[in-house]
A = this chain, B = another copy of it.
Amino acid sequence: MLSFESDYIEGAHERILQRLAETNLEQLSGYGQDLYCQRAKEKIREACECPEAQIFFLVGGTQTNTVAIDAFLKSYEGVVAAKTGHVSTHEAGAIEYHGHKVLELPEHQGKICKKELEVLLKNFWQDENHEHMVFPGMVYISHPTEYGTLYTKAELEELAAICRSYEIPLYMDGARLGYGLMSRDTDVTLPVIAEYCDAFYIGGTKVGVLCGEALVFTKKNMPKHFLAIVKQHGALLAKGRLLGIQFDTLFTDGLYYEISRHAIEMAELLKEGLDRKGYVRYLESPTNQQFVVLENKKYQALQKEVVMGFWEKPDSDHTVVRLAASWATKQEDVERFLELL
């Protein structure tokens, strides 16, 4: 059985497992105070060209979003996000559960648009009754988005400018950041992100580790007593080494980029094959997730041999599926899949 179900169906890159084994019996203090966490942070600071970045390792994406958003916002503030943002739709209401409204903007293939953001912010502050409303306290974007799309450097700069003029942080969910950075069609780099975003996270779970996300605060703006905030959310890992060693390895000898690039190559191979065979892509994604329109009959037939992600039904005869390439995708699997089409 082939599977393009998601980018988290395998374990971890072998170098990660190897480093976990090599360091296994070293005796290290808990809660992120160990040497490997320190090294990983140093390497991430360098990769971001942001020597003052403050970094905290967390276990998963929803957890990272929840803790970061909750730590940034005042109780009367909400987070602005696209209607399709992960925090808006697929986190089981974690943001609201922790007390904050998601203020939704329309989505444009998963992205928010600076004009609509500006209007939302302006309207809020102009409204005489705004103290009866939820204050827009930060802006959330995902990059790549849930649709695999990317912001350009210019777009990030514009969003950042708006956020700064309203004195609210710009936060990027980088669950699949590696696949964005290695896209053939982007001018956005880690230093660019570190410049324009007040905080962001470098996703590990979907890019080669067993679990883990590196939350980066770029402007000396890590909320005070952040460790206590993390602990209070039940999000502080006792054996912080697990995260430190994995990120230390990811950011040694460019492993993060290398494995991300591999996923992009596999996705491009997939795209070329699909195009060649005349399949319609649901939207143009320059990253590792590809969305394809299949006739229902074809979809049913394929399901016997391939696990795909159901996305939606655009009409009664067709189904959109998501095919995710990853650091672990084998070229032969892509080729076999293309043959099956």
Contacts and interface: CB of A to CB of B under 8 A. Distances in A.
B29 A11 contact: no
Interface string A80-101: 0000000001111111111111
Given A5-B29, A236-B62, A241 B11 contact: yes
Q: Within the oligomer, what is the number of copies of this chain?
A: 4
A227 B75 CA distance: 12
Contact of A97 (B17, B59, B232, B241): B232
Contact of A211 (B14, B17, B104, B242): B242
A154 interface: no
Given A3-B27, A10-B24, A10-B26, A239 B225 contact: no
B97 A60 contact: no
Given A92-B228, A100-B93, A101-B96, A24 B29 contact: no
Interface in A61-75: 61-67, 70-71, 74-75
A98 to B, nearest CB: 8
Nearest to A25: B10
Contact of A231 (B99, B131, B234, B239): B131
- Of the listed residues A27, A97, A129, the one surrounded by the most CB atoms of chain B closer than 10 A to its CB is A97
A1 B235 CA distance: 30
Contacts of A332: none
Contact of A232 (B76, B104, B224, B241): B76
A48 B221 CA distance: 39
Contacts of A25: 10-11, 328
B132 A76 contact: no
* Chain B CB within 10 Å, residue with most, of A17, A95, A236: A236
A135 B64 CA distance: 22
A302 interface: no
A14 B284 CA distance: 45
A279 interface: no
Given A14-B24, A75-B229, 4 more contacts: A11-B241, A76-B228, A91-B231, A128-B310
The 10 A-B pairs with the shortest beta carbon distances in the complex, nearest first, are A63-B234, A11-B24, A92-B231, A93-B134, A96-B101, A76-B228, A92-B232, A66-B234, A9-B27, A3-B27
